[in-house]
A and B are shown apart, each in its own frame.
Chain A
Amino acid sequence: MFDLDKWKEIWATLRSNRLRTFLTAFGVFWGIVMLMAMLGFGSSMNAGMRRQMKGMATNLLFCWGQTTTEAYDGLPPGREVQFDIGDVDLLRRLPEIEWLAPRHQLGGWMNPSTVAHESKSGTFTVMADTPDFKHIVAFEYEAGRFINEEDMKSARKVAVIGSAVRDQLFAPGADPIGEYVKINGVYFLVVGVTHTLRGGQMGDQDANTVFVPFSTLKTVFNFGDHVGFFALTAKPGYDGEQVEKDVREVLARHHRVSPNDKLAIGSFNMFEVFDRFSTFLFIIALMAWVVGGATLMAGVVGVSNIMLITVKERTKEIGVRKALGATPFSIISMVMKESIVLTLIAGLVGVAAGVGLMALADFALENAHNTPFGPPNISLSTVLAAVGVLVVSGALAGIMPASHAASIKPIEALRAE
């Protein structure tokens, strides 16, 4: 198979028919470019999605209290469900929970607060968080650190600010660490500046957030034992829907909510989002292989047809070769190898064009953070699979013409003109 000599022989015949070699090759080329473009499209969507979610746990569940709609356990409907610190211990008993983060937003959900530094001020999201929150959304730090256990224990008045907060409240180049910011009139010592990994809206949100210790919010702003909402991750291997159900059940029981009252407790399950997205990506990849594969097959049928015509055109040559001692096997192998080489070369040029296309898309999308498309990435194994498909296709395309060539009787071949 790797006899250089035989390949030279094949190369000579392919070169002797440049035009038909080119025309034949084009179908295959196009097929593989289509295949790669479609795979790239899927991968680009994947990358775009991942860019938005970078640093964020994917097995994530949010849960918050709403208003009851049913009377239950002697309590009337219309009661507000307010989570509290007691829920934390109850939830920790669930074996499937990996990280649990009680959270609270100063001023209430979606209400920004005023944060000031010297003469500058702005409105930002102020979140009260525990150290464990870093396992749920990971950040990098431009300076300093996240809230730690010491902060929690001593209810320190410290703040970790987002990069946009820093930009708005501090002079360019100034180091905010060790400075104080005023949140609703109370001074907090800045101990960290986050740098978000997430893209898009979520990234903007992170940049505009100030984190303070959960315990501090309670002591400074009189939040009592209230918890605004829970963010939690499940251990690997647990079914997302089941985790959601279990969490809701624990909270419902503790807050005397009817098990049937779906509206009393709100929850949002990221598992499903990711699941749905994975399915979507899978379908795109499947379509890529089906559509790209079909285009490629059309190219292969083209190769087969043209090889057959070529074999007929070359009847005389085949006759001469047979007169000089070519066995049927050597003729079959010659035509098959020509077919494979032709398909493979065209395919590899297609792969190269595809890779070029990817590089172009990569360049265009790398900094386009607000599109759902990220820089595409086609894995080496996908490319190798495509090349494998090409070799098989080339062989398939060669079978008919090759067996026709081998079946030509030498005398008839010699007589042909």
Chain B
Amino acid sequence: MLRLDKVNKYYRVGTHSLHVLRDVDFEVADGEFVAIMGASGSGKSTLLNILGILDDYDSGEYWLGDTLIRSLSEKKAANYRNRFIGFVFQSFNLLPFKTALENVALPLYYQGISRRKRNQIAEQYLERVGLRDWADHTPSEMSGGQKQRVAIARALIGKPRLILADEPTGALDSETSRQIMDLMAEINKTGITVLVVTHDPEVAARTSRIIRLKDGKVVDAEHARDSFPQMQAQP
């Protein structure tokens, strides 16, 4: 699915530069469900942004499928984001003036699909996250959990092979977090590779593998566990 080979990333702030990712090396196979953990400032978001082709890196190689992702044209990058990757953000990032349905349908707009068609498809995806009746509501009328479901539906609508979620439960209470992670697990079961950045061990426990970062270095990229021990442990 994807492979990082000695990836380095610096932030230049004024005169000095900050070495945020140091020789990051790991591989994620197709269909994996991976958590990325680490202290605040360890470089998790930076890493995820590079994986999502939202940001550049300074050295090393990032392979997405068979493609080396390096200084792509904005147009190509946009195309990858549109068709290959789905994003879920901590702060949802829904467009406030659009309804849930329109938010979900937006990626299809950039595929040139007609409004009617994409609304039809968006309805199916809203149904899938259990928000069929909320199609005509704007984000301000929805709870955090509902907003995140809308965001997940939006991430899924382009039929991506990879979902990147940066602290998707960071703004939610524990019960809602659990529901969102149920949804993530369900998505993963359909064969989509899912990477979740999180601070929350309970969230991480739902995944099949944890990559730990410390000061921009991968300290642990344990191999895939069998599957969902926590879930099996529950009655």
Contacts and interface: CB of A to CB of B under 8 A. Distances in A.
B228 interface: no
A253 interface: no
A316 B93 contact: yes
Contacts of A213: none
Contact of A324 (B74, B97, B102, B107): B107
Contacts of A322: 54, 78, 81
Nearest to B87: A323
B196 interface: no
B115 A327 contact: no
Contacts of B182: none
Contact of A411 (B49, B94, B154): B49
B55 A9 contact: no
A325 B78 contact: yes
Contacts of B70: none
B115 A5 contact: yes
Contacts of B111: 325
A7 to B, nearest CB: 11
Most chain B beta-carbon neighbours within 10 Å: one of A324, A326, A327, A406: A324
A16 interface: yes
B110 A414 contact: no
Contact of B75 (A13, A323, A327, A414): A327
Contacts of B158: 324-325
Interface in B103-150: 106-107, 109-111, 114-115
Interface residues of B, number: 30
A328 interface: yes
A410 interface: yes
B114 A324 contact: no
Contact of A326 (B55, B83, B93, B110): B110
Contacts of B98: 12
A330 interface: yes
Contact of A327 (B49, B78, B102): B78
A2 interface: no
Most chain B beta-carbon neighbours within 10 Å: one of A9, A321, A410: A410
B193 interface: no
Contacts of B168: none
User: What bracket does the count of chain A residues touching chain B fall in?
Assistant: 20 to 34
B51 to A, nearest CB: 12
A406 B73 CA distance: 13
A60 B226 CA distance: 106
A125 B79 CA distance: 88
Interface string A314-337: 001101111111111110000000
A325 B82 CA distance: 4
Interface in A392-417: 406, 409-411, 414
A245 interface: no
A329 B95 CA distance: 20
A15 B115 CA distance: 18
Given A316-B93, A320-B93, A328 B74 contact: yes
A324 to B, nearest CB: 5
Interface in A282-331: 316-317, 319-330
B97 A12 contact: yes
Contacts of A329: 75
A392 to B, nearest CB: 27
B74 to A, nearest CB: 5
Nearest to A15: B97
Nearest to A326: B110
Nearest to B97: A16
A93 interface: no
B93 A325 contact: no
A409 B95 CA distance: 18
Nearest to B55: A411
21 contacts: A8-B115, A317-B95, A320-B94, A321-B106, A322-B81, A323-B52, A323-B87, A324-B106, A324-B110, A324-B158, A325-B82, A325-B83, A325-B111, A327-B78, A327-B110, A406-B74, A409-B55, A410-B55, A410-B77, A411-B54, A414-B54
**4 interchain residue pairs of minimum CB distance:** A325-B82, A16-B97, A325-B110, A411-B55
Interface of B: 49, 52, 54-55, 74-75, 77-79, 81-83, 87, 89, 93-98, 102, 106-107, 109-111, 114-115, 154, 158
